[in-house]
Amino acid sequence: MACLGSAAAFVGRDALARAAGVPVHFASHQLCSATFVAGLDPTQFFDEAIKPKLGPLGGLLRYEVDRRHREVRTSLAGLIESRAVHDGPFGCRVLHPGREARFFRGDAGDPTSSSAGLPPLAGPDVVAPVNAGLADALDHAFAESDTGPRRFTKAVVVLQHGHIVGERYAPGVTPATPLIGWSMTKSVTNALLGILVRSGKLDMHASAPIAEWSKPQDPRRPITPDQLLRMTSGLSGGDSAHTSGFSTIFDPDTQMEYDMADQSGFAASLGLRAKPGEEWRYTNCNFVLLSRIIRNLAGGTADATRQFITRELFEPLGFRHATLEYDSAGVPLGTIHLWASARDWARFGQFYLRDGVTERGRRLLPEGWVDYASTLTPPSAEEYSYGAGFWTQRGDAPAARSRIAGGFPADSFMAAGSQGQYTIVIPSQDLVIVRIGWSYTPNDDRVATERLVRETIAALQVEK
């Protein structure tokens, strides 16, 4: 799930109160989204995707799904409560005291489906694998261990030369089901920044337009959007890459995401732990601030931002079942909260495979932006091999070499999220592979995903 703020902000009673609030807010938000955005069964989702993540607190949590009012209420041992509501095309949001206003005014049309002019990638039926080898690869992607931990693969889509050559879904999931992307959302934020750069509204290498940092003597003023995007801002945020499971309730990133009405306000208040550009630290606070920049440049309100994202990205790409959620300050949650169908994610990968050009030949991203996004950020090389909103195998880095040894081609890069969310772009094969689930296997189901890539490429080479 999963930024550290000033020491005074996270000590004593405040720290305990925020930690206690995370489980109920996390559960109400995610259950609301799963039920009213994705149309998933709330009992199954709670048992698979929420309860195991809360550790010993999972058994103390109670929830109620109110379909009439489109909201979810949760409580922890009857002591701490949370309420999340479905706000139409803005997705779900926890209601914090004094911040109960909703953004949806009932005039935005279907809240979960774009009016994209592009034809769908395929019909409503699941596309069968083109050969037995690919069918075997998909079988392996959904296989579960007899002893656990569970993988809970929900969707795999394989797209080559712009066409689906095979896909598979878990029971209760269809080609139209929106699924949580977690940190794959960060790669969509990369695209929105690229659109703003191409329109001349944003300079990635100038000082980031953050009002709280505008004084000449502020040591954070030199931070650039590029450094935020590459996780080298130096902000004293949490370390989301190393925090998982029950312990995340004590991580300031997670507390920001589930216990704060104004997430970017918190992120903008952080001090520095390192000189900008020198240290790589995967903290979601960077992307919360980038999301606020997007909102401000897109019109300054939640509704103007939603219209901008739909008009400039979702509709040109042909997204049909995508909902990006917002916090109570009207900032899009461009860190971890985009729900989209596996086919939508595949189309997003295809967009980057085509260098930021849509299927109809319209360029949305600046020339060279995809290379920029997939170029290694050197301080991340040893353990992670991160680019600019994407993970990359490009560049001679130890982390990349490890993934290449497992099956990823050297020219590939990917959007990746917690618990095994992947949109893998492989230019040398003209191939996109999407895998979505909520896995509890090590390293975000990395070994199985490497096998999926390896076996898919081998199967499709037989077709040539």
Residue 189 belongs to a domain with what CATH number?
A: 3.40.710.10
- pTM of the prediction? 0.94
Dihedrals phi, psi of 449, to nearest 5 degrees? -70, -40
The predicted pLDDT at position 61 comes to 93
The answer as to whether 200 is a domain residue is yes
CB atoms within 10 A of CB 262: 18
Number of domains in the chain: 1
The answer as to whether 250 is a domain residue is no
The predicted pLDDT at position 56 comes to 86
How far is 111 from 453, CA to CA, in rounded Å? Answer: 34
In this prediction, the residues of the chain whose per-residue pLDDT falls under 70 are 1-18, 107-116, 240-247, 463-464
Residue numbers of the domain that contains 296? 155-240+275-463
The answer as to whether 68 is a domain residue is no
The answer as to whether 80 is a domain residue is no
The answer as to whether 406 is a domain residue is yes
The answer as to whether 38 is a domain residue is no
The answer as to whether 48 is a domain residue is no
The answer as to whether 1 is a domain residue is no
